[in-house]
């Protein structure tokens, strides 16, 4: 359980809140680039960390992310005209650029007050099919994170955006929970377990070998990593899965040898809603996008990026399938996660929990984040912001000799991949601090 004030500190994301200020110290995804592909096209609404914003690509191709409401009398700029360097409000023709009011045509030329007004605007970058924003103090802008998937060709990168009707932390805590797949994601009804291979989860069958994994956690320069160690039918072999966490809300989910990899971001829309970004990628070869959609169940489209499942329709749960061996009665791992995380209501009351050994990583994360919030207020450096970090991380899942430390899973998997002829450049380096 958690004290009420700590639950609030970890879940509230507005500009004046501790977690809101922490998240604003990082580059974070604001939208998919497909939403603003056309120069001079329609602006889009972007709600991020509780702030109402609008993103647009001006007729010259320049991208902006500015406050949604006109500083004159508050009309929404999503309806505005997309002009060179800014958006022009429909109501009285004021034009807002990135940071300033550029024109206020109904005012006589002698009235210059509008030009002195500032208008909210955040720096943006385009990378990895995403629009990224930095919403923190300009003097504290961190280096842009060099994720290895950012510059991959379209065939090797699938970026999926999915709306979730819950606070972001419920999503994060699902990814911090190595035991839940044995239950929530179990599906004895699956005709072909190999069908998971294209989705980056070939190892689902291994995972089912032990429903009570031993969980390990450690802090890293990026934030933390988790290891889940499972027994197998051989007493001297463990099946180990690692997860790499990067502040403020990114993680790599373990995938097996030569499988596509999976990066996730939990983008808080406001305190009660978030988007999950699933980034499926392969550094060497094209990925099977159809298999990813089919196994994760996260096919969505703009502008809402929602699947048909919701609390109102019980996420289309099928009790006949449950009788046949599907544990949840719902298809797709991403939707199964949403069933439980949305069912907890928008912000789960963590003062009422009863945490056990399987919640070790959840407890470790909360304690670590509360400590980082305190360190932020003391002016200490934040995780993941050292310019020397190379961001070339990897989360692995592999069988490991039982006498090896769990951290050796990355090296063991990569040694095996080397023997298969994987290009050395595509192996990780940032896990080098893990045990050899």
Find the shortest distance in angstroms from Cβ 434 to Fe ion: 24
Q: From Fe ion, ligand FES, none, which one binds at residue 288 (CB under 5 to 8 Å depending on kind)?
A: none
Residue nearer to Fe ion on the CB measure, 7 or 341: 341
Residue nearer to ligand FES on the CB measure, 8 or 75: 75
Find the shortest distance in angstroms from Cβ 327 to Fe ion: 12
d(CA 179, CA 303): 34
Question: Which contiguous run of DSSP H or E holds residue 414?
Answer: helix 409-419
Q: Using CB under 5 A, which of the segments 110-118, 133-141, 294-302, 331-339 binds Fe ion?
A: 331-339
d(CA 416, CA 414): 5
Percent helix, strand and coil across the chain, each to the nearest 5: 30, 25, 45
144 φ/ψ angles, rounded to the nearest 5 degrees: -70, 130
d(CA 280, CA 287): 8
Find the shortest distance in angstroms from Cβ 104 to ligand FES: 7
Instruction: Give the nearest residue (CB) to Fe ion.
Output: 337
Q: Which value, to the nearest 10 degrees, does the dihedral of the CA atoms of residues 34, 38, 41, 47 take?
A: 30
| 3-class SS of residue 144 | coil
Find the shortest distance in angstroms from Cβ 408 to Fe ion: 25
Bond prior to 303 in cis (omega within 30° of 0): yes
Q: From ligand FES, Fe ion, none, which one binds at residue 42 (CB under 5 to 8 Å depending on kind)?
A: none
Q: From Fe ion, ligand FES, none, which one binds at residue 434 (CB under 5 to 8 Å depending on kind)?
A: none
Residue nearer to ligand FES on the CB measure, 74 or 381: 74
Residue nearer to Fe ion on the CB measure, 63 or 226: 226
- Cβ atoms < 10 Å from Cβ of 5: 9
d(CA 131, CA 421): 35
Residue nearer to ligand FES on the CB measure, 6 or 85: 85
Find the shortest distance in angstroms from Cβ 66 to ligand FES: 13
Alpha helices in 228-311 (DSSP H): 289-296
E-only strand ranges, 254-303: 261-270, 273-281
Q: Which of 173, 337, 342, 417 binds Fe ion (CB under 5 A)?
A: 337
> Please, which of residues 12-71 interact with Fe ion by CB under 5 A?
none
Q: From ligand FES, Fe ion, none, which one binds at residue 70 (CB under 5 to 8 Å depending on kind)?
A: ligand FES
Residue nearer to ligand FES on the CB measure, 111 or 425: 111
Find the shortest distance in angstroms from Cβ 58 to ligand FES: 18
Q: Using CB under 5 A, which of the segments 34-42, 73-81, 232-240, 335-343 binds Fe ion?
A: 335-343
Q: From ligand FES, Fe ion, none, which one binds at residue 306 (CB under 5 to 8 Å depending on kind)?
A: none
d(CA 380, CA 357): 31
Burial of 210-242, coded b for 16+ CB within 10 Å and e otherwise, reads beebbbbbeebebbbbbbbbbeeeeeeebbbbb
d(CA 145, CA 252): 14
Q: From Fe ion, ligand FES, none, which one binds at residue 337 (CB under 5 to 8 Å depending on kind)?
A: Fe ion
Residue nearer to ligand FES on the CB measure, 90 or 316: 90
Residue nearer to Fe ion on the CB measure, 288 or 337: 337
Give the binding site for ligand FES (CB under 6 A): 70, 72-73, 75, 89, 91-94
Find the shortest distance in angstroms from Cβ 341 to Fe ion: 9
- Name which of 165, 172, 170, 159 is nearest 31 in CA terms: 159
> Interface with Fe ion by CB under 5 A: which residues?
337
């Amino acid at each position: 359980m958690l004290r009420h004030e700590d639950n609030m500190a970890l879940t509230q994301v507005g500009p004046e809140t501790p977690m809101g200020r922490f998240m604003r110290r990082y580059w974070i995804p604001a939208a998919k680039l497909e939403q603003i592909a056309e120069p001079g096209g329609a602006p889009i609404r972007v709600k991020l960390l509780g702030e109402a914003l609008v993103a647009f690509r001006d007729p010259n191709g320049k991208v902006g992310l500015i406050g949604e409401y006109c500083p004159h009398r508050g009309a929404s700029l999503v309806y505005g005209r997309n002009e060179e360097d800014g958006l022009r409000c429909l109501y009285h023709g004021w034009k807002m650029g990135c940071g300033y009011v550029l024109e206020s045509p109904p005012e006589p030329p002698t009235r210059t007050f509008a030009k002195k007004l500032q208008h909210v605007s955040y720096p943006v970058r385009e990378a990895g099919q995403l629009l990224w924003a930095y919403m923190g103090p300009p003097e504290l802008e961190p280096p842009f994170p060099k994720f290895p998937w950012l510059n991959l060709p379209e065939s090797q990168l699938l970026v999926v955006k999915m709306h979730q009707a819950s606070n972001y932390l419920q999503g994060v805590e699902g990814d911090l929970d190595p035991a839940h797949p044995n239950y929530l994601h179990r599906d004895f009804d699956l005709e072909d377990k190999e069908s998971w291979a294209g989705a980056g989860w070939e190892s689902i069958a291994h995972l089912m070998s032990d429903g009570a994994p031993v969980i390990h956690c450690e802090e890293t320069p990026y934030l933390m990593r988790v290891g889940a160690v499972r027994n197998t039918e051989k007493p001297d072999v463990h099946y180990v899965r690692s997860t790499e966490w990067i502040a403020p809300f990114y993680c790599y989910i373990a995938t097996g040898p030569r499988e596509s990899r999976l990066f996730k971001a939990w983008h808080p829309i406001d305190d009660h809603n978030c988007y999950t970004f699933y980034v499926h990628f392969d550094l060497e070869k094209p990925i099977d996008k159809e298999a990813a959609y089919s196994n994760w169940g996260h096919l969505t489209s703009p502008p809402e990026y929602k699947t048909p499942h919701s609390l109102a329709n019980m996420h289309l749960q099928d009790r006949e399938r449950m009788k046949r061996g599907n544990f949840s009665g719902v298809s797709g791992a991403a939707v199964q996660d949403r069933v439980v995380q949305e069912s907890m209501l928008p912000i789960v009351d963590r003062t009422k929990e009863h945490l056990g050994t399987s919640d070790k990583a959840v407890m470790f994360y909360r304690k670590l984040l509360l400590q980082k919030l305190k360190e932020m207020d003391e002016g200490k450096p934040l995780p993941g912001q050292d310019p020397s970090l190379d961001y070339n991380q990897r989360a692995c899942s592999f069988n490991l000799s039982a006498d090896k430390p769990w951290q050796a899973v990355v090296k063991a998997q990569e040694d095996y991949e080397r023997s298969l002829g994987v290009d050395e450049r595509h192996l990780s380096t940032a896990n080098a601090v893990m045990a050899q």
